Chain A
Protein backbone atom coordinates (compact mmCIF):
# COMPACT_ATOMS: atom_id res chain seq x y z
CA UNK A 1 0.00 0.00 0.00
CA UNK A 2 1.10 3.53 -0.60
CA UNK A 3 0.26 6.83 1.01
CA UNK A 4 1.25 10.45 0.82
CA UNK A 5 1.27 12.96 3.65
CA UNK A 6 1.53 16.64 2.99
CA UNK A 7 2.52 17.98 6.35
CA UNK A 8 1.04 21.46 6.00
CA UNK A 9 -2.42 22.22 4.68
CA UNK A 10 -1.57 25.95 4.42
CA UNK A 11 1.74 27.76 3.99
CA UNK A 12 2.16 31.54 3.86
CA UNK A 13 5.34 33.24 2.70
CA UNK A 14 6.28 36.76 1.75
CA UNK A 15 7.13 37.54 -1.84
CA UNK A 16 10.86 37.04 -2.43
CA UNK A 17 11.34 34.60 0.46
CA UNK A 18 11.97 30.85 0.14
CA UNK A 19 9.19 28.31 -0.22
CA UNK A 20 9.20 24.88 1.42
CA UNK A 21 6.27 22.49 0.95
CA UNK A 22 6.73 19.21 2.76
CA UNK A 23 5.75 15.76 1.56
CA UNK A 24 6.37 12.33 3.05
CA UNK A 25 5.42 9.13 1.33
CA UNK A 26 5.00 5.49 2.07
CA UNK A 27 5.37 2.92 -0.69
CA UNK A 28 6.14 -0.77 -0.81
CA UNK A 29 8.23 -0.39 -3.95
CA UNK A 30 10.57 2.18 -5.41
CA UNK A 31 8.12 4.91 -6.27
CA UNK A 32 7.81 7.62 -8.82
CA UNK A 33 6.96 10.94 -7.21
CA UNK A 34 5.37 14.03 -8.64
CA UNK A 35 4.39 17.54 -7.68
CA UNK A 36 1.40 19.11 -9.37
CA UNK A 37 0.12 22.67 -8.99
CA UNK A 38 -3.48 23.79 -9.29
CA UNK A 39 -4.36 27.44 -9.73
CA UNK A 40 -7.91 28.55 -8.95
CA UNK A 41 -10.47 27.15 -11.37
CA UNK A 42 -7.78 25.33 -13.32
CA UNK A 43 -6.67 21.74 -13.77
CA UNK A 44 -3.51 20.20 -12.39
CA UNK A 45 -0.24 21.20 -13.99
CA UNK A 46 2.84 18.99 -13.65
CA UNK A 47 5.63 20.85 -11.84
CA UNK A 48 8.24 18.12 -11.69
CA UNK A 49 8.72 14.38 -11.34
CA UNK A 50 11.16 11.88 -9.89
CA UNK A 51 11.38 8.56 -11.69
CA UNK A 52 14.56 6.95 -10.23
CA UNK A 53 17.10 9.12 -11.99
CA UNK A 54 18.78 12.07 -10.25
CA UNK A 55 17.50 12.60 -6.72
CA UNK A 56 17.43 16.38 -7.10
CA UNK A 57 14.77 17.21 -9.61
CA UNK A 58 14.30 20.60 -11.23
CA UNK A 59 10.91 21.62 -12.46
CA UNK A 60 9.18 24.55 -14.05
CA UNK A 61 8.99 28.08 -12.63
CA UNK A 62 12.11 27.68 -10.49
CA UNK A 63 10.79 24.84 -8.32
CA UNK A 64 12.84 21.83 -7.36
CA UNK A 65 12.46 18.80 -5.12
CA UNK A 66 14.84 16.32 -3.59
CA UNK A 67 14.04 12.63 -3.23
CA UNK A 68 15.40 11.36 0.10
CA UNK A 69 14.81 7.65 0.43
CA UNK A 70 16.17 7.45 3.97
CA UNK A 71 13.66 10.06 5.10
CA UNK A 72 10.90 8.97 2.70
CA UNK A 73 10.50 12.61 1.77
CA UNK A 74 10.07 14.62 -1.41
CA UNK A 75 9.89 18.24 -0.29
CA UNK A 76 9.24 21.00 -2.82
CA UNK A 77 11.33 24.17 -2.65
CA UNK A 78 11.80 27.45 -4.43
CA UNK A 79 14.42 30.05 -3.49
CA UNK A 80 12.22 33.09 -3.99
CA UNK A 81 8.43 33.14 -4.03
CA UNK A 82 6.50 35.10 -6.60
CA UNK A 83 2.91 36.28 -6.32
CA UNK A 84 1.98 34.01 -9.21
CA UNK A 85 3.06 30.96 -7.16
CA UNK A 86 -0.04 31.28 -4.99
CA UNK A 87 -1.95 28.05 -5.66
CA UNK A 88 -2.59 24.59 -4.27
CA UNK A 89 0.19 22.05 -4.56
CA UNK A 90 -0.24 18.28 -4.60
CA UNK A 91 2.38 15.64 -3.89
CA UNK A 92 1.66 12.38 -5.72
CA UNK A 93 3.17 8.90 -5.51
CA UNK A 94 3.06 6.02 -7.94
CA UNK A 95 4.79 2.77 -7.03
CA UNK A 96 7.00 1.14 -9.63
CA UNK A 97 5.24 -1.54 -11.61
CA UNK A 98 1.83 -0.03 -10.96
CA UNK A 99 1.18 1.71 -14.17
CA UNK A 100 -1.70 3.93 -13.35
CA UNK A 101 -2.62 3.99 -9.70
CA UNK A 102 -1.62 7.40 -8.39
CA UNK A 103 -2.09 8.36 -4.76
CA UNK A 104 -2.56 12.07 -4.14
CA UNK A 105 -1.78 14.02 -1.04
CA UNK A 106 -4.45 16.24 0.43
CA UNK A 107 -2.80 19.37 -0.90
CA UNK A 108 -0.99 22.42 0.47
CA UNK A 109 -2.44 25.85 -0.16
CA UNK A 110 0.39 28.35 -0.72
CA UNK A 111 -0.32 32.01 -0.03
CA UNK A 112 2.22 34.61 -1.12
CA UNK A 113 2.04 37.91 0.74
CA UNK A 114 3.16 41.15 -0.88
Chain B
Protein backbone atom coordinates (compact mmCIF):
# COMPACT_ATOMS: atom_id res chain seq x y z
CA UNK B 1 0.00 0.00 0.00
CA UNK B 2 2.86 2.44 0.58
CA UNK B 3 3.87 2.15 -3.09
CA UNK B 4 1.04 4.44 -4.13
CA UNK B 5 -0.08 7.22 -1.81
CA UNK B 6 -3.07 9.50 -2.06
CA UNK B 7 -3.95 12.71 -0.25
CA UNK B 8 -6.21 13.71 1.26
CA UNK B 9 -7.82 10.48 2.42
CA UNK B 10 -11.13 12.21 3.08
CA UNK B 11 -12.57 15.39 1.56
CA UNK B 12 -15.84 17.22 2.02
CA UNK B 13 -16.59 20.04 -0.38
CA UNK B 14 -19.42 22.23 -1.47
CA UNK B 15 -20.58 22.39 -5.05
CA UNK B 16 -18.88 25.75 -5.61
CA UNK B 17 -15.52 24.77 -4.14
CA UNK B 18 -12.32 23.98 -5.99
CA UNK B 19 -10.11 21.25 -4.61
CA UNK B 20 -7.41 18.89 -5.82
CA UNK B 21 -6.64 15.24 -5.18
CA UNK B 22 -3.03 14.14 -5.23
CA UNK B 23 -1.48 10.79 -6.05
CA UNK B 24 2.16 9.81 -5.83
CA UNK B 25 3.75 6.50 -6.78
CA UNK B 26 7.11 5.28 -5.53
CA UNK B 27 7.32 2.20 -7.75
CA UNK B 28 9.20 3.62 -10.74
CA UNK B 29 6.15 3.16 -12.95
CA UNK B 30 5.39 5.24 -16.02
CA UNK B 31 1.62 4.92 -16.31
CA UNK B 32 -0.93 6.33 -13.89
CA UNK B 33 -4.71 6.09 -13.68
CA UNK B 34 -7.72 7.66 -11.98
CA UNK B 35 -10.71 5.49 -11.14
CA UNK B 36 -14.06 6.31 -9.56
CA UNK B 37 -15.69 3.83 -7.20
CA UNK B 38 -19.33 4.57 -6.43
CA UNK B 39 -21.53 2.55 -4.15
CA UNK B 40 -23.06 -0.49 -5.84
CA UNK B 41 -21.24 0.13 -9.13
CA UNK B 42 -18.11 -1.42 -10.65
CA UNK B 43 -14.96 0.65 -10.73
CA UNK B 44 -14.97 3.16 -13.54
CA UNK B 45 -11.79 4.15 -15.31
CA UNK B 46 -11.61 7.94 -15.67
CA UNK B 47 -8.18 8.85 -17.06
CA UNK B 48 -4.96 7.19 -18.12
CA UNK B 49 -1.56 8.84 -18.36
CA UNK B 50 1.33 7.17 -20.11
CA UNK B 51 4.73 8.83 -19.76
CA UNK B 52 2.94 12.03 -18.59
CA UNK B 53 0.70 12.12 -21.65
CA UNK B 54 -3.03 11.56 -21.35
CA UNK B 55 -3.94 8.53 -23.41
CA UNK B 56 -7.51 7.92 -22.28
CA UNK B 57 -10.38 10.08 -21.12
CA UNK B 58 -13.36 7.89 -20.48
CA UNK B 59 -16.00 10.53 -21.25
CA UNK B 60 -15.40 12.24 -17.95
CA UNK B 61 -17.19 15.58 -17.37
CA UNK B 62 -14.99 18.65 -17.61
CA UNK B 63 -15.53 19.48 -13.95
CA UNK B 64 -12.81 16.84 -13.41
CA UNK B 65 -9.45 18.01 -14.70
CA UNK B 66 -6.41 15.74 -14.45
CA UNK B 67 -2.80 16.83 -14.40
CA UNK B 68 0.34 14.72 -14.63
CA UNK B 69 3.47 16.85 -14.20
CA UNK B 70 5.78 13.82 -14.15
CA UNK B 71 5.60 10.04 -14.09
CA UNK B 72 5.43 9.92 -10.31
CA UNK B 73 2.65 12.43 -9.64
CA UNK B 74 -0.94 12.66 -10.71
CA UNK B 75 -3.54 15.22 -9.71
CA UNK B 76 -7.28 15.45 -10.13
CA UNK B 77 -8.57 19.01 -9.97
CA UNK B 78 -12.20 19.33 -8.97
CA UNK B 79 -14.54 22.28 -9.51
CA UNK B 80 -18.29 22.81 -9.38
CA UNK B 81 -18.94 19.18 -8.55
CA UNK B 82 -22.36 17.62 -8.08
CA UNK B 83 -23.57 15.48 -5.19
CA UNK B 84 -23.53 12.43 -7.47
CA UNK B 85 -19.76 12.87 -7.77
CA UNK B 86 -19.43 11.69 -4.18
CA UNK B 87 -17.39 8.50 -4.34
CA UNK B 88 -14.06 6.89 -3.57
CA UNK B 89 -11.44 8.08 -6.05
CA UNK B 90 -8.65 5.60 -6.57
CA UNK B 91 -5.29 6.18 -8.17
CA UNK B 92 -3.25 3.35 -9.67
CA UNK B 93 0.07 2.98 -11.41
CA UNK B 94 1.76 0.41 -13.60
CA UNK B 95 4.72 -0.14 -15.83
CA UNK B 96 4.27 0.13 -19.57
CA UNK B 97 5.68 -2.76 -21.49
CA UNK B 98 3.07 -5.41 -21.91
CA UNK B 99 2.09 -8.57 -20.10
CA UNK B 100 2.98 -9.00 -16.48
CA UNK B 101 4.59 -5.57 -16.23
CA UNK B 102 1.26 -3.85 -16.69
CA UNK B 103 -0.21 -5.04 -13.42
CA UNK B 104 -1.82 -2.07 -11.74
CA UNK B 105 -1.15 -1.17 -8.11
CA UNK B 106 -3.67 0.97 -6.28
CA UNK B 107 -3.51 3.67 -3.68
CA UNK B 108 -5.81 3.79 -0.62
CA UNK B 109 -8.20 6.24 -2.26
CA UNK B 110 -9.73 9.59 -1.41
CA UNK B 111 -13.26 9.46 -0.01
CA UNK B 112 -15.04 12.50 -1.46
CA UNK B 113 -18.33 13.87 -0.25
CA UNK B 114 -19.95 16.70 -2.21
CA UNK B 115 -22.61 18.63 -0.33
Contacts and interface: CB of A to CB of B under 8 A. Distances in A.
A51 interface: yes
Given A41-B111, A100-B33, A104-B43, A46 B103 contact: yes
Contact of A45 (B1, B50, B99, B100): B1
B90 A100 contact: no
Contacts, number: 56
Interface in B18-32: 31
A7 to B, nearest CB: 14
Contact of B42 (A41, A51, A107): A107
B86 to A, nearest CB: 15
Given A44-B90, A100-B48, A102-B104, 8 more contacts: A43-B4, A43-B106, A49-B100, A51-B100, A94-B102, A99-B31, A100-B50, A101-B56
B16 to A, nearest CB: 27
Given A43-B108, A49-B103, A104 B1 contact: no
Contacts of B98: 99
